[in-house]
Homo-oligomer: A and B are copies of this chain.
Amino acid sequence: MVRIQQEDFDPGHELALLSQIGPNVGGIASFVGLVRDMAGGRPVTALTLDHYHEMSVKMLENIEAEARARWPLLGVTLIHRYGRLSPGERIVFVGTAAAHRQAALDSCSFLIDWLKTDAPFWKEETGPAGRQWVAPRKEDEERRKRWRQ
């Protein structure tokens, strides 16, 4: 399940939905990304996310399909926000449900790694020194490559 939205989400509610998928769910892994108040040593007062909506939906659906092809998943939830966010606010939720923990945990890492390099979102940080587009991190590319397509 993919959702791209401006409004906040409730991680506890999303976990509850994943646990209610069926009595065969034995493990639920999740990741929540938050806006930090510092980035590369600079204070951040706001984070603004630009995105390409139709392509984001498509890419996240592709990423979900790829995870389901690799692991026996009973549920997948991908939520990504856009717009202007303050430090401490939630940006992204990845949740996976499976019979066993390995599938849930590994696919959760996979999903956030792929999402980082494939979903068309762009972060712009606002701070005392002005606004600045976030540069892609080489480390993200490398984590993505570990999962070899």
Return the CB mask of A108-125 against B: 1 if under 8 Å, else 0.
110010000000000000
Q: How large is the interface on A (under 10, 10 to 19, 20 to 34, 35 or more residues)?
A: 35 or more
Q: Which listed residue, B25, B29, B33, B109, touches A26 by the CB 8 Å rule?
A: B33
In the complex, what's the smallest C-beta–C-beta distance from A76 to chain B, in angstroms?
Answer: 15
CA distance A115 to B18 in the complex (A): 23
A120 to chain B, nearest CB (A): 19
Q: How far is the CA of A78 from the CA of B108 in the complex (A)?
A: 19
Which of chain B's residues have a CB closer than 8 A to the CB of A101?
A: 31, 33, 112
With CB as the reference atom, state the residue of chain B lying closest to A12: B12
Task: Compute how far the CA of A28 lies from the CA of B108 in the bound complex, rounded to whole angstroms.
Answer: 12
CA distance A32 to B136 in the complex (A): 31
Query: Can you list 27 pairs linking A and B with CB atoms under 8 Å apart?
Result: A11-B11, A11-B15, A12-B12, A12-B13, A15-B15, A19-B88, A19-B90, A23-B36, A23-B38, A24-B36, A24-B38, A25-B34, A26-B33, A26-B34, A27-B32, A27-B33, A28-B31, A29-B29, A29-B30, A31-B101, A33-B101, A102-B139, A102-B143, A105-B108, A105-B112, A106-B109, A109-B109
4 A-B pairs closest in CB distance: A12-B12, A23-B37, A26-B36, A28-B32
